[in-house]
Structure 1
């Protein structure tokens, strides 16, 4: 096995101490337990100074000798033990792999598995992250790849015993598939771009790639292909930290808004790692209801807002991290008044390449929502 990195040794030490703590409890005739932060909506707060959601101070204890907690406690310890073995063997696994590794029966005399569904193991991985102050990737756990990138930058990927260099400008029609972990053994260098454009839909990303928009406008174009996975959100944040403006190009509907605000301020579910994933400086380029006046042809391409769109717009007006912006209050009130929504594909109405003109026009005029 290759020599361990300092980061790996730290993770190994944390997991070992976690196990030793539980052993000390047992030998001291105490109820084995560990403490973690409460991850419910009631303990999520918006940090104005940082510009993203974070966990509050509420804590909760997970213990073994507790009828309502014993199974979850046992499952969490099983996850920790399996991750420790992954690290010792210098192996990585997906969260799906982990589920199957731990799905087995508890024994011949017990007709019950440790896990029956992956929906049981996923939230416990997050509980473990919070309890140990470690990220999933440090536990050698990854998720499926989701997201694609093209632009003037190089990616240096140390994978196993090899170091691979990828030119982001020479990835053809498919682009570079963004991995789940963009921190460990991976570097982003020689970045030569004026800004980053995040495009909700893969089809629109493909259009811009085919038009060589990224080359003509000296941009890096990323598509999260819907809701942004952790790896993609982390990459966007890393590029923002390098001083690149981040513009997000989504639909004007409940899903498009949710994707944007998850990128900008983080999510309630993952508020404990917003400092790594959220990009407070991101701007919403559109599409917006306000675009109907600037681009009249769009008036004939709107769609009726459904109940979820209306409900989400009303909810967002009550979120302090959104209502602090009068521009967003105005936009959401327009949605509620008109009961319409608009998809980014509508911009292909006049001609396919009009999307390019729209984006350039918005950036040139600084016409975006905060």
Structure 2
């Protein structure tokens, strides 16, 4: 879909929401909206698309209560703000929109989390991603490095670049909106998405990308939507294996989950943001034991998070149950950089090749 087509779809969808309220009031009804319940108890696996989506449980927000009426008022202001952006072909960050609401009197937001949540509501109601509203987060800065060539639309026209030969050591910076990127060609065998900058740099410095024809993606912790969209597009365009390399703790497992299963709050965008074929190649609790890695004790919050993952349907596999229960019994967690205790080349010469071979990505 071109930018012009997306702008038209966004405008029509948003005005449709406002028109529905008008028709409700015109017929004597109280304005309302219906939205899916955004909890792990209302996500279901969709066999056709192989992604997790919202189930049938919904919640109604109606202007009959002061709290919900205020929410609809804020939504109306946001729709007006986005409408103006689309007409003027301008964009803003989510943070800027939050501050702009300072002038909306009773419709102002109390915190950015509230305004972000409302944008997610509009995505669900309109079936348009926030990029279609010309809204984006603060600077992402996630990067990609490897044997692939892309073509990108810039202010000076289309530009083609190779993500090894034409970029610096930090790689190509993934933009907030990746829809204008065309995937030209590649010489890669697989993709590794890496949680930490230190490990991303280690793999580049050790020449892992060249030796194994690997595309390396720095997730920068919990990956931004643009990063997840980039992985989704690489996977769907080139059908390359995507591996997620993280620390060995419950929060890092959720990083993998956001790539492979999607986040609960963005389940409505799963087909665009999720890479269902992604596999976990991160530090496992069994690695802490088998390699005697430097580690830290699990905190109470870590334990609580691990137990929550055991009840999460997205982690309901034998592999995850076994590893999480092992971690709870060990009472330990560890970081990617802990492999350095076995030498700076251990992770690229020993650990990753062994895991990739076990997973069938590399031939033994």
Same fold (TM over 0.5): yes
Check 1:214–1:128 CA distance in 2 against 1; reply closer, same or farther (3 A cut).
same
Partner in structure 1 of residue 201 of structure 2: 206
Determine if contact 2:288/2:294 at 8 Å carries over to the other structure.
no
Check 1:62–1:146 CA distance in 2 against 1; reply closer, same or farther (3 A cut).
farther
CA RMSD, 1 decimal: 2.3
- SS of residue paired to 2:21: helix
- SS of residue paired to 1:337: helix
Partner in structure 1 of residue 257 of structure 2: 261
Instruction: Give distance in 1, aligned partners of 2:47 and 2:13.
Output: 31
The TM-score with structure 1 as length reference comes to 0.89
Q: What is the deviation of 1:38? A: 2.7
Determine if contact 1:197/1:246 at 8 Å carries over to the other structure.
yes
Matched, 1:247 2:246: no
Encode CA deviations 1:60-84: one digit per residue, 9 max, x unaligned: 3333343221111111111111111
- SS of residue paired to 2:272: helix
Check 1:320–1:13 CA distance in 2 against 1; reply closer, same or farther (3 A cut).
closer
- Give the 5 Å matches for 1:197-346: 197-241=192-236, 242-292=238-288, 298-323=291-316, 325-346=317-338
Q: What is the deviation of 1:49? A: 5.9
Q: How many residues align?
A: 356
Please state which structure has a larger fraction of its residues in helix.
2
Check 1:338–1:154 CA distance in 2 against 1; reply closer, same or farther (3 A cut).
same
Q: What is the deviation of 1:332? A: 1.4
- Could you tell me which runs of 5 or more consecutive residues in structure 2 were left unpaired when the two chains were aligned: none
Matched, 1:129 2:123: yes
- SS of residue paired to 1:220: strand
Determine if contact 2:73/2:107 at 8 Å carries over to the other structure.
no
Check 1:139–1:347 CA distance in 2 against 1; reply closer, same or farther (3 A cut).
same
Partner in structure 2 of residue 76 of structure 1: 75
Partner in structure 2 of residue 115 of structure 1: 109
Partner in structure 2 of residue 109 of structure 1: none
Check 1:21–1:300 CA distance in 2 against 1; reply closer, same or farther (3 A cut).
closer
- SS of residue paired to 1:171: coil
Matched, 1:351 2:343: yes
Q: What is the deviation of 1:27? A: 3.9
Matched, 1:38 2:30: no
Determine if contact 1:250/1:256 at 8 Å carries over to the other structure.
yes
Determine if contact 1:146/1:229 at 8 Å carries over to the other structure.
no
The TM-score with structure 2 as length reference comes to 0.90
Q: What is the deviation of 1:233? A: 0.9
- Give the 5 Å matches for 1:59-70: 59-70=58-69
Instruction: Give distance in 2, aligned partners of 1:182 and 1:142.
Output: 11
Instruction: Give distance in 2, aligned partners of 1:293 and 1:68.
Output: 51
Instruction: Give distance in 2, aligned partners of 1:4 and 1:328.
Output: 41
